Structures are given as C-alpha cells and as structure tokens.
C-alpha cells in the first residue's frame, strides 16, 4: 500500500509557516512603548519587535539579533527620529557593550521604569499594592560598581588576545579603555590590564579576570593551565603598580598569590568590616548597600529584647548590623563556606549575639534546633528564584514583621501572595537602584502580621 501523504499534517491552520526574520537584517520601526526591561516595543508585519537602545515614540533602524515565531529581538543601529527624552550615552561603548542597557535614558526615567515594573508585578501577580510607596533608594549614577568580570579570549589563528567586556547578545569581546560605572580605583587597572596580559608567555592560559575593590583592590586571574614563574612575575608586578592584590584560581578555589592577603568591605555606619573571598556574593554598589541596610533596619525595627531571624544571610551583610540592635540574631545560609566566613566576621567584629547556621532553605524549618522559640521579626534576601518554601513557614515561626529584600520583582510578587494568605499585610515597598544604567530591579517590602 502506498504511504499516505502527510505533508500538511503539521502545517498551521493559516497555511505555510512564515519564514523567520534573518539575523542581521535591518528594519525601520516605530517604537510604541517600552517593555519592563527597558527595550522598545514595535509591531511590524504581524510580529512583535523588542528593540534595545530605543525609546517610546522614536523611529529607528534596528538590526535583528534573533527571531522565533512572531517575536523578534533587535538592537537599534540608527535613530531616525529621536525622543525628546533621549540623552547622549555617557559611555562610547554603551550601544555595543552588554553591561549597560539604558544609558540613553535619563536617570529619573530609569527610576520610573523600575518603579513601574515593581508596581505591575505586585498588581498583576499578587493583586496588591503597599499601603505606602517608599522613595527609591539611590546612589551615584556612575562610578558605583566595585566588582567586574573581564572577558579574555585567545585567537590561535591570529595569535591575538581579546580583552574587554562581552557585547550585548553576542560572544564578541569589546575592548574598553574606560568603564564609567566602575569605581575609580578599578579604572586604571581595567585600562592597563590588556597590555599586561599580552606580555604573558602563555596568554592562552587565561580564562577570565575579575576585579574587586573594597578595603583594598584585587585582581583575580582565572587560568586554565599552570602559569610559569615569568608570567606570575608579570601579573604580580602589574598588581603592585596598581596597589592591588593578586589572586589566582586554577581547578580549585581562589587563593591569594601572597599568603595572608585578604579582601574586605566596610559598613561604616555600624563600625563593621566584613572579610570575603573572590566568588563570595557581595553587593556591587557600596553606597546603595549601606542605604539598603539602614532602611531594612528601620523598617524591621528590631528591639533590644527581640530575637531576629536573617535568612539567606551570606557573609552577614544584614546579620551583623542587626546584631547591633537586637538581643539575638540567628542567621542562616545555604552555602557552608559562607556560613564559616560569616561566623569569623562576627568574631572579628566582637559580636557574640549572632549565630550562623547552614541549612537547605527549601526544606522545613520547624525541626531545626535554631528555629525553636520563634522570632519576633524576619529578614530575608533570597536569590532570583525567591523564597517560596521559606515564606510559607514564617507565620509558624511567630514573626510579626518581615522585611523581604528582592532582586526579582516577579518572585517577590509570587511570595507576597503566600505571605498575604498567612495573614500578613504589605505595609511598604520600594525599589533599590543597585544597578544604575541597567533595567535590573531590586526591591524591598515590609510585611506585618494582622492582629
């Protein structure tokens, strides 16, 4: 029997599938509005276009980056009719570097965009608005970033080393002399790094380089093969010239080139200094971090006779300042190495009323020894996927007040639903401008248990 022709079986009802828009194609577009991530939205030939570097009301020529079904992602290549809100990008690399996505937008408009994003998530997902909106927590618009990862790639055919930041939506490396968002002490290090790496006998052994600044500056070199003495000497001399520590990382954890060297950052408002190692989570924006801690403590209002719980505590960024005010702080983290360093930070700062524990925060807390007795207040600062399993248990712990610090408004809104279901009320919320010149939103919310 002849096989039946099934050629039309998987065709869409409207006929043959429209061809995808080829990558690299240029298209003139009218931008109608902005998406939550700051990209412009346009509609053309039955497709929705998301265009980076564009503002509402503009006519642009955009280049296609990717296409799937009826959605096209593109980058504005030429502004044909500019919005009156557009400003010249302070960085010459803004349209190619993948680090900053909204430099063409005035800072006040960036804040408004982030505020709108938080409001929409709370309204759409949690069907709630706070009783009070807090003013945005802001810091310097530029010169704030105290940590950066520098991409390095060896081209064996050309025998050339590319050093810089990755391009937007690409693996291409953009050479950058100055980065306006970096703190000033890291600028000369970034500027001189490419020349130093090109002096190496085995530049192909360099995977990437990370820059840090806190109580001192540091350069972490991630290498994929052992480095010889000559190359180590080049790197060490470069770091000495820039008053920075050299750290190395091969197959194991990062280690300082000179034993005993250590990194740290200060929380001056609480007379604290926290030690950390490359690879530990540290907030990149020191001024906003200090303001964030101050606001969290103000909202949580820990009393001198209260027991407070700090979840996802990291190195003790919130726990140590909390210990200055509360009777006892229990701090919990899922990474054992961070727990150990946090405990050392407490000892080094002469704090004996804060206790650190390692726990899987996706599991039940009820049986944990440290949870017995309950808590008057809870502070949590989870990663992007939120803290759904944790928040379901907060009322059982007796917490009357909860401060939730979030780096993802969507999971904050989801977890807000769960807190409201337990009887909490959303009293305050506001954005934290931790990453100016980007559309990334951080937020803080205060919940109080209804009587």
Q: Which structure tokens are listed for 203?
A: 């530049």
Q: Please state, in angstroms and as integers, the Cα–Cα distance from residue 10 to each residue in 5, 6, 14, 37, 50, following that order.
A: 12, 8, 11, 35, 28
Say how far apart CA 386 and CA 374 lie, in whole Å: 22
Orientation of helix 229-241 relative to helix 187-198, angle to 10°: 160
Nearest Cα to 438, choosing from 31, 50, 53, 33? 53
Task: Identify whether the C-beta of residue 405 lies closer than 8 Å to the C-beta of residue 296.
Answer: yes
Q: How many CA atoms lie within 13 A of 167 on its CB side?
A: 12
Q: In what order do the strands lie in the sheet with 217-223?
A: 173-174, 160-166, 147-155, 206-213, 217-223, 244-249, 255-256
- Per the structure block, which two tokens stand in for 103? 């430099």
Is position 97 annotated as part of the catalytic site? no
d(CA 306, CA 270): 19
274 — phi, psi (to 5°)?
-110, 130
Closest by CA position to 345, among listed 318, 364, 385? 318
List residues with catalytic annotation.
407
């Amino acid at each position: 029997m002849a096989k039946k022709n099934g050629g039309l079986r998987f065709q869409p009802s409207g006929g043959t599938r429209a061809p995808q828009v080829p990558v690299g194609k240029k298209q003139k577009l009218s931008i109608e509005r902005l998406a939550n991530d700051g990209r412009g939205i346009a509609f053309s030939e039955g497709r929705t276009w998301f265009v980076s570097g564009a503002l509402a009301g503009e006519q642009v020529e955009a280049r296609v980056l990717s296409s799937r079904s009826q959605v096209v992602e593109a980058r504005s290549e030429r502004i044909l009719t500019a919005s009156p809100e557009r400003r010249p990008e302070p960085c010459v690399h803004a349209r190619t570097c993948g680090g900053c996505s909204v430099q063409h937008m005035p800072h006040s408009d960036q804040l408004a965009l982030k505020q709108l994003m938080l409001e929409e998530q709370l309204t759409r997902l949690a069907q709630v608005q706070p009783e009070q909106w807090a003013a945005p927590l802001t810091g310097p618009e530029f010169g704030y970033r105290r940590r950066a990862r520098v991409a390095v790639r060896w081209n064996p055919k050309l025998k050339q080393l590319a050093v810089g930041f990755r391009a937007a939506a690409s693996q291409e490396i953009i050479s950058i002399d100055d980065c306006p968002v970096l703190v000033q002490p890291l600028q000369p290090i970034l500027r001189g790094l490419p020349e130093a790496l090109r002096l190496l006998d085995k530049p192909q052994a360099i995977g990437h380089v990370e820059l840090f600044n806190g109580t001192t500056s540091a350069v972490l070199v991630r290498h994929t093969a052992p480095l010889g003495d000559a190359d180590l000497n080049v790197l060490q001399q470069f770091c000495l010239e820039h008053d920075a520590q050299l750290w190395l990382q091969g197959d194991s954890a990062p280690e300082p080139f000179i034993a005993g060297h250590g990194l740290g950052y200060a929380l001056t408002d609480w007379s604290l200094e926290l030690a950390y190692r490359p690879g530990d989570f540290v907030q990149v924006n020191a001024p906003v971090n200090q303001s964030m801690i101050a606001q969290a403590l103000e909202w949580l209002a820990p009393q001198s006779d209260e027991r407070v719980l700090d979840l996802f505590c990291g190195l003790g960024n919130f726990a140590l300042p909390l210990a200055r005010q509360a009777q006892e702080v229990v701090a919990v983290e899922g990474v054992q190495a961070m727990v150990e360093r946090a405990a050392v930070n407490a000892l080094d700062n002469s704090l004996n009323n804060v206790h650190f524990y390692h726990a899987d925060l996706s599991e039940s807390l009820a049986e944990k020894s440290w949870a017995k007795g309950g808590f008057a207040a809870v502070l949590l600062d989870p990663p992007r996927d939120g803290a759904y399993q944790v928040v379901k248990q907060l009322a059982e712990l007796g917490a009357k007040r909860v401060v939730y610090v979030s780096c993802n408004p969507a999971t904050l809104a989801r977890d807000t639903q769960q807190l409201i279901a337990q009887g909490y009320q959303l009293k305050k919320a506001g954005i934290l401008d931790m990453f100016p010149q980007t559309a990334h939103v951080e937020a803080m919310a205060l919940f109080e248990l209804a009587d």
